[in-house]
Amino acid sequence: MKWHWNDAWKWKKVMLISITFLVFSVTFGDTMQSYASERLRDRNQNQGVPQADLTDMSVDDILKPTYGKTLGVYKEKGYKKAEAFEASLQADHYSAFGGVKPRTEAVEGTSSALIWEKDTEWLEWTIEVPEDGLYSLVASYYPLAGKRLPIQRELLIDGQSPFREAQRIYFTRNWMDAGKPLQNNQGDDVRPKQIEKPIWMETAIMDGNGLYSEPFQFYFGAGKHVIRMNYLVEAMALDEIRVTSPEQLPGYGEIEKGYETQGFEPVQQVNVKVQAENNPMKSDPTIRRESNGDPLMEPAGDGTKLLNAFGDWRWRKGGQRASWTFSVPKDGLYKIGMKFGQWWGDGLPSYRQILIDGKVPFQELAEYPFSYSRNWRIETLHKDTEDGDAQPLLMHLTAGEHTITMVAVVGPYQSIVENLTADTQKLSDLYRRIIMVTGPTPDPNFEYELGKKIPKLIDDLKIIADDLLVQMDALNAISEKEPSTVNSLRMMNHTFEKMIKNPDSIPRQISELSNSQTNLSTLLMGLQNVPLVLDYLLVSSPDTKYPKVKSNFFQKSVSTVKNFIASFTKDYTGVGSVYDKDQPAQATGPVLEVWVSRGKEWAEIMKEMAEEEFTPKTGIRINVNTLPAGQLNSGSVNTLLLAASSGKAPDVATGVDSHLPVEFAIRDAAVDLAQFPDYEEVSKRFLPGSLIPFRYNGGNYALPETQDFNVLVYRKDILKELGVQVPQTWEDTYAMLPILQQNGMQMYYPISSLGFMPFLYQNGGEFYQQNGAKSALDSPEAFQAFTEWTELYTNYKFPVAANFFNRFRTGEMPIGISDYLTYVLLSTAAPELIGRWGVAPSPGHINKEGKIDRTSGGVAQSVAIFKQSKHQKEAWEFLKWWTSKDSQVQFAQELEALLGVEARWNTANMEAFTQLPWPEDDLKALSEQLKYYKEQPYVLGGYFTPRNIDNAWNRVVLGGMNIRESLEQGVKDINKELRAKQKEFGFTPD
């Protein structure tokens, strides 16, 4: 009975609670519902865009549609090309301008050219067209001196940008070799400098990245229209802008009939050879002479490095062009052959647009394919007939001089690239919609029911999966064999198909979605690379037989033996000419040994610059040797330390870790640069904060060469979706974090001791006191800084480890603090983010003056002189020359010309830094951040400071230790090491 009474009592309690809740709900239900609605409404208002709208928002809501999509709309609407129209707009007859009024002056034979410089923000011209239709624009321009970048303008029609590519129109420059290659004392060719040769050029407005081989077409209705160009980058002179009917290229069949009608005959016994490396005119200084060791190259190296080819991997970007001039002895029909190599792309061809005397002669040369092969080949320009035969494409040439131009174009890959780009963006948006529900690390055991919570999730996945199949078929149709790109797309398709069949598995496969987006972006970059290498071109009579150019085993063996024999007499230890440093300096001048902790290309440019400028002015010659970067870092047994121990240290080392000069100074092995009378003047080239790590005991032991920086990078599209502003202070940042986290996103902040430095300096703290005798991290300012830093991870849940580059691309981390390397990666290796991200100064703290203090450091590399040098004064002359503005600008330009924007030089010379080709908006942000640059000092035992800061962080964030106790333990360990090192070296701080 007792059990029954207890059971009944429990039932009564349940009923009583239920009745009470019912009465409460009736009484206060409207109030509760209103409160919940207000919370949801506030959350959506904070994000700027209602939550329901976020899932439908695409990148096209933020960016203009591409030209390919716009052209499709033109076709759907039935727009036709305008017929037989041409009108010229003189550049100086503009209808309006913004900023400073442009001037006119005579430029290279043109009496009244319009000079368009930075102060003129925009120009407008008015044109009237007689009928509705599609028109092309042609500009006649002259590049003016600047930062060696392509000239860039934004184009608007009647106040609107017609498509995305019109927001950045490129006007290329002309480059050529300064002369023939010289030879160093090792018998190797030295690559000539690249010089600009500006000339008047007439070019149709078209895509500067080679995605579209035809000029842009713009729709004009009948009547008046306003053409406006906004200044973006670099100055130019303009003569005229022509509005014309789009050109319709004929097919070769039509041209061939014209040959017959006009009685043109093939020439006989003519074979003109043009060596491809012999100084072509080119649009980009990065495409250049290259060396190839094949024994049938012309000329062959035979044990030496000859620059005997042109192009190679550097001639891979769409829009890069090169032109060669040749002469033929008589009128007639010629065939054109090329000895080329195309062994990139795993089966996919590379494409070139081929122009004769500035014009594409027929459709077949608008996008000419160079098929894949592992060997050198010689091929006549031809088209494949229906029978599978190769029909030569003959050109009619008159006697005299002509020009052949080859432009890298993406060709048939354009539509594939555009579709895959759209897939990547859809996948990015889809991924962010998923993590809004699941978070970045979903619980594998929880059923999220994504198919119900995310509208159109399965439909969107199916659209992406189906489109991948279409692009796979398109790639297979282009290639002679199935390329690896198709296999990658097939694997992604299988992944998406599995998700479609089982939506509940998506949270467990969230990482595969992220990886698929990254892989798609990598494939996109690969498809837009169309490399080609040339040995020579042949303009010949059609009956000319070409030689065999594939080297056989015997020829390769002979070449190998020659290279082996040459190795006994060649000095491989240096770069370029190698001088005997043991010769008397009075006879030949002193020789400096310079070690470069970078790649060979960096060292080659330095050596060539020294041979051209430094040595002729000073009589001081240099030997340059390259070392792996890690060998000039402190904290390990490295080559430089071993060399110094054995008495064979170099005179100068560049690319040196910022801590190493003081390590050598402690041991009296580095030269105090302050002893030179002009040190103070030279040091003004750099930020005061960048000199801090090189000071020790009253001396200055190095000059900064490069410096890293930490800036805020952010996704414009995502912040716009969320309705948040770029944070200026850390208080702004803390206010933004809940909005990110509500949407499954995070902010990135580096976890190393460099992440502690901004908080320390912005709170008024320092690393050391009493000239490095003791740590200053026991101050209230340091405690506040350490608390704020660790609470990023304990309170605000910043990730303790993340690949920021990848997560920035996926949108998981739409904002974060980035270093120089990540900035360059985003600029060069994330094509899907073009126009969707920006740079701003790092957040700071409001100081006593009411201004934002953004003080932060970076990682500097330096150049130092060693005490073992017998030529210390000469070494100082080298340091002054090397760190000067002119040398740093030239080196940066040559390096970027050689390796591309991926190798942009982050020089520590601030005057040189501002003259490098940074994007204008980025330069403003970087310059603002660098005003607050301040490095960490280095003292005896200083290596223990970052180590113990990291240890203290680990104890708090990973171990849950009390903040004050952890920091105090770290300070205790730092001071113990500082005292031990001071005692070891007998150093008593002032």
Contact assessment for residue 767 and residue 945, using Cβ atoms and an 8 Å cutoff: yes
Measured at the CA of 67, the angle between CA 63 and CA 72, to 5 degrees, comes to: 115
What is the residue type of 695?
R
DSSP, residue by residue, 255-321: HHHHHHHHT--B-SS-EEEEETTS--EES-TTS-EE----TTSSS--TTS----EEEETTS-BTT-E
Contact assessment for residue 711 and residue 840, using Cβ atoms and an 8 Å cutoff: yes
pLDDT at 832: 73
| Chain position carrying tokens 């998506």 | 506
Q: Which residues contact 976 (CB under 8 A, 6 or more apart)?
A: none
Distances (CA, A) of 593 to 223, 641, 697, 904: 71, 16, 27, 26
SS (H, E, C) 484-553: HHHHHHHHHHHHHHHHHHCHHHHHHHHHHHHHHHHHHHHHHHHHCECCEEEEEEEEECCCCCCCCCCCCH
Neighbours of 828 (CB within 10 A): 14
Average pLDDT for the chain: 87
**pLDDT tens-digit readout, 753-809:** 778 999 999 999 999 987 788 999 999 999 999 999 999 999 998 998 888 998 898
Measured at the CA of 77, the angle between CA 72 and CA 79, to 5 degrees, comes to: 85
**pLDDT tens-digit readout, 162-200:** 999 999 999 999 999 988 988 888 888 888 888 899 999
Spatial separation of the C-alpha atoms in residues 906 and 709, rounded to whole Å: 9
The pair of structure tokens assigned to 174 is 């002309």
DSSP character at residue 954:
I
pLDDT of 208 above 50: yes
pLDDT at 439: 78
Q: What is the mean pLDDT of residues 298-321?
A: 90
Residue 230 falls in which region: left (phi positive, over 0), alpha (psi -120 to 50) or beta:
beta
What is the residue type of 919?
P
Spatial separation of the C-alpha atoms in residues 816 and 718, rounded to whole Å: 13
| Pairing assessment for the beta strands 271-275 and 532-540 based on DSSP bridges | antiparallel
- pLDDT band for 587, please (50, 70, 90 cuts): low
**pLDDT tens-digit readout, 26-61:** 333 333 333 233 322 232 223 233 322 333 334 444
**pLDDT tens-digit readout, 217-240:** 999 999 999 999 999 989 999 999
Beta bridge partners, 907, equal 706
| Pairing assessment for the beta strands 695-696 and 845-846 based on DSSP bridges | unpaired
The reported pTM is 0.82
pLDDT of 12 above 60: no
Closest CA to 484 of 342, 345, 341: 345
Beta bridge partners, 236, equal 116, 143
DSSP, residue by residue, 680-707: HHHHTTS-GGGSGGGEETTEE--EEEEE
Contact assessment for residue 812 and residue 746, using Cβ atoms and an 8 Å cutoff: yes
pLDDT of 282 above 60: yes
Beta bridge partners, 401, equal 327
Neighbours of 507 (CB within 10 A): 21
**pLDDT tens-digit readout, 815-832:** 999 988 899 888 888 877
The pair of structure tokens assigned to 140 is 């006649």
Spatial separation of the C-alpha atoms in residues 216 and 165, rounded to whole Å: 9
b/e map 271-286, b = 16+ CB within 10 Å: ebebbbbebbbbbbbb
**pLDDT tens-digit readout, 618-669:** 999 999 998 877 667 766 557 778 888 888 889 999 999 888 899 899 889 9
DSSP character at residue 168:
S
pLDDT of 671 above 70: yes
Neighbours of 872 (CB within 10 A): 18
Spatial separation of the C-alpha atoms in residues 347 and 410, rounded to whole Å: 15
Choose the most confident range, by mean pLDDT, from 374-378, 896-900, 921-925: 374-378
| Phi, then psi, of 126 in degrees rounded to 5 | -110, 135
pLDDT at 989: 58
Percent of the chain with pLDDT over 90: 60
**pLDDT tens-digit readout, 700-758:** 999 999 998 889 999 998 999 899 999 999 999 999 999 998 888 899 998 877 789 99
Spatial separation of the C-alpha atoms in residues 462 and 467, rounded to whole Å: 8
- pLDDT band for 541, please (50, 70, 90 cuts): very high
Contact assessment for residue 542 and residue 393, using Cβ atoms and an 8 Å cutoff: no
| Chain position carrying tokens 């890293």 | 708
Rg (CA), the chain: 33
Spatial separation of the C-alpha atoms in residues 656 and 633, rounded to whole Å: 6
Q: What is the dihedral of CA 429, 430, 436, 442, to 10 degrees?
A: -130
Closest CA to 516 of 769, 278, 809: 809
pLDDT at 25: 38
pLDDT at 22: 38
The burial of 367, by beta-carbon neighbours within 10 Å (0-12 exposed, 13-18 middle, 19 or more buried), is given as buried
Contact assessment for residue 231 and residue 116, using Cβ atoms and an 8 Å cutoff: yes
What is the residue type of 659?
H
DSSP character at residue 603:
H
pLDDT at 320: 94
Q: What is the mean pLDDT of residues 61-81?
A: 87
The pair of structure tokens assigned to 171 is 């006007």
Measured at the CA of 3, the angle between CA 2 and CA 8, to 5 degrees, comes to: 100
pLDDT of 429 above 80: yes
